[in-house]
Structure 1
Amino acid sequence: MTKGHSEAEAELKAFTADDDAAGARLDQWLAGRTAPELSRNRIKQLIEQGNVRLNGTRVTEPKRKVKSGDIIEIAMPEPEAPEPLAEDIPLSVLHEDEDVIVIDKPAGLVVHPGPGNPAGTLVNALIAHCGDSLSGIGGVRRPGIVHRLDRDTSGVMVVAKNDRAHQALSAQFADHGRTTEMERAYLALVWGTPDRMTGKIETFLGRSSRDRMKQAVVPEGRPDARHAVTHFRVIERFGDPSGAAPVASLVECRLETGRTHQIRVHMAHIGHPLIGDQDYGRSFATKAKVLPEPLRRSVEMFGRQALHAAHLAFNHPATGELMRFETPLPADMMELVAGFRRFHDRT
């Protein structure tokens, strides 16, 4: 067992391998069953530290093969959750007062510390930036995260600096603008173009059965199904000068609900995944091969999903004043859009 913990102190998780598990690596199979709570690296550590039993026998080899019917148990040590440390990470601050801070998050910055990202996050940066102006969330001096952007999504975020603001903002985000003035709008560069200029995508989302790290459109009756609604508006189409159908579009997406990866899943669901999205648009990657240089290279080298949180409006948690913030596309997306415009306008 991990040093300092006994099996009596640990939470025990048990799984029975199904027919599809036959021949899979133990660490890989367990990672698929425990994501996103545990990463594959964390699973590997637990196995190597003797925290996993296979049919009652402790195993320490992550590569051990699994057979149908195997019973796998993980003894989860008590979590070690040190408070995030302050780190001097530059921030683009759009607004700050005693209750909230609004920032323009760059792509590549993880919001909150977690497995695989113990430091170097937005939370670490905010602790350093805000200092004593953080009065505490839940009795701890830390910023209150009320909504998140994926690591590789850029754009506007608001963060609470005290419990009062945290509770008020959390209520607004939970309401999704139904009874408040909250608005969230994103700009996405997608493959192809929707068949209409405006529309609503309404589905149920849940964990993908093929990859538990991803979300998918699922039947309404599934236990983990969550209602998801996205409104979209096509802003600009980038066609082929030969007259063929547009190869890409700049689309505004407004959220009526806030599910994990919602825009990315919804746009892929209607056949127009985000450019650069390795999770939900990988099958479209070959479309770049028909593009002329240097646009082809720009698309192939674009290292993230082309998604930017461009607009955020909310009522200030203390004054009730409507606050609106907008940020332009970051340089990498601007360059990509410019490349498609040049492609569209060439003679």
Structure 2
Amino acid sequence: MQRVNLEVPNERAGERLDRLLSDMCPEFSRSRIQKLIAGGMIDLNGSSVRASQRVSEGDKIHISVPEPEPTSLDPEEIPLDIFYEDEHLLVINKPPGMIVHPAGPIRNGTLVNAVLAHCKHLSGINGVIRPGIVHRLDRDTSGLLMVAKDDVTHRGLAEQLASRTVRRRYLGLVWGRVKEEFGRIEGLLGRHPKDRTKMAVVRNGGRRSATKYEIAQTADFLTLLDIFLETGRTHQIRVHMNYIGHPIFADEVYGGGAQKIKGIAPQFREKASGLLRSAGRQMLHAADLGFLHPASGEAMQFRAPPPADVQGVISDLGMTSGD
């Protein structure tokens, strides 16, 4: 059991207890502090407290921190393409077909299972020994993502995502010839009104989302785009590109499957059909990732070339990825 003793300084008098502690104890997230308070592990001048309680100068705060609980997930020796690693974080190039974290009945074969086996020393993120998934990639999207090894790093990376200072460039192959060299898509993103397993641009009740894109190259019936996330909503790029009529190539969920073939010129339909079969998944790859290291402040920049399936389709079209 770890014990932390603090005294409220004059300049912090009048603040909420949970907010004060999240500043004074950066190793704990605010939600973690609130759970400790609810569990009776934090007292103020020897008495139990509420998270919203206001503090006074000289108040004595005592925190009892339980040892991190072991995760219920099983470590698995799954190969990882690690671009960078230190004691705080990893940058991993995720292959297509790998789920980032367990969900529902899926408990094995995920990136989290692999990281648990790879990292022998992980701190307790929100009280559980596990890697911190700061952001996600869809199962069939390949490319770079950040994984935190401790609470402080997780919070630092999450704050950069929230302030939109993380650079995330995706390489996306979309149907049709995009006319505008540069573009920006903005709208509310929420659950599809008819199919709750999907996301959609909605009029009400969604969350703000924004995506920028630039044309990299064009082919007869497809366009290769550099796509930049301003926000990071679920399925955002796939939904946005479908919304403007240029769905991601081979994205069966969001309009980019075989149904698009009848809309292109007849002389290209056989080739499109063959490329769809060879693709097998949406042609979307997280190619660039840039952020400030939460511990050192160093600017970190990474680039992952597209995997063989994406590169194969690009080459068959007579284009190059440039990565």
Instruction: Place the TM-score, normalised by the shorter chain, in its bin.
Output: 0.7 to 0.9
Q: Does 1:214 align with 2:198?
A: yes
Residue segments in structure 2 that go unaligned for 5+ positions in a row: 1-69
Q: Does 1:255 align with 2:229?
A: yes
SS in 2 for 1:341: coil
| Alpha carbons of structure 1 residues 166 and 82: separation in structure 2 relative to 1, 3 Å | closer
**Aligned match for 1:110, one of 99, 112, 127:** 99
**Aligned match for 2:87, one of 95, 98, 101:** 98
Q: After the TM superposition, which residues 1-347 of structure 1 pair with which residues of structure 2 at under 5 Å, given as runs?
A: 83-132=72-121, 134-177=122-165, 182-219=166-203, 222-223=204-205, 225-239=206-220, 247-281=221-255, 282=257, 283-286=259-262, 290-291=267-268, 296-341=273-318
Residue segments in structure 1 that go unaligned for 5+ positions in a row: 1-80, 240-246, 343-347
SS in 2 for 1:332: helix
Task: Note the alpha carbon deviations across 1:238-275, whole angstroms, 9 max, x for none.
Answer: 02xxxxxxx00100110111111111011111110001
Task: Note the alpha carbon deviations across 1:196-244, whole angstroms, 9 max, x for none.
Answer: 110111111111011101111111xx23x111111100000002xxxxx
* C-alpha contact 1:295 1:340 (8 A) present in aligned 2: no
Structure 1 residue 298 displacement after superposition: 2.6
Q: How many pairs are equivalent?
A: 247
The AA in structure 1 aligned to 2:308 is A
Aligned equivalents of 1:163 and 1:103: distance in 2? 19
Aligned equivalents of 2:246 and 2:130: distance in 1? 39
SS in 1 for 2:129: coil
Indicate the residue corresponding to 2:28 in structure 1. none
Structure 1 residue 170 displacement after superposition: 1.1
The AA in structure 2 aligned to 1:274 is I
Runs of 4+ that moved beyond 2 A: 285-296
Aligned equivalents of 1:232 and 1:333: distance in 2? 18
Structure 1 residue 292 displacement after superposition: 6.4
SS in 2 for 1:260: coil
| Alpha carbons of structure 1 residues 99 and 128: separation in structure 2 relative to 1, 3 Å | same
Structure 1 residue 291 displacement after superposition: 2.9
* C-alpha contact 1:290 1:296 (8 A) present in aligned 2: no
The AA in structure 2 aligned to 1:137 is I
What RMSD over aligned residues (CA atoms) do the two structures have, in Å?
1.8
Structure 1 residue 300 displacement after superposition: 2.8
Structure 1 residue 284 displacement after superposition: 1.6
| Alpha carbons of structure 1 residues 165 and 82: separation in structure 2 relative to 1, 3 Å | closer
**Identical aligned pairs, as a percentage?**
47
Aligned equivalents of 1:251 and 1:92: distance in 2? 24
* C-alpha contact 2:262 2:269 (8 A) present in aligned 1: no
Task: Note the alpha carbon deviations across 1:112-164, whole angstroms, 9 max, x for none.
Answer: 001132111000000000122x1221122110001000000000011000111
Aligned equivalents of 2:304 and 2:106: distance in 1? 26
SS in 2 for 1:167: helix
Structure 1 residue 97 displacement after superposition: 0.1
* C-alpha contact 2:293 2:299 (8 A) present in aligned 1: yes
Q: TM-score, normalised by structure 2?
A: 0.73
Q: TM-score, normalised by structure 1?
A: 0.68
| Alpha carbons of structure 1 residues 295 and 206: separation in structure 2 relative to 1, 3 Å | closer
* C-alpha contact 2:278 2:309 (8 A) present in aligned 1: no
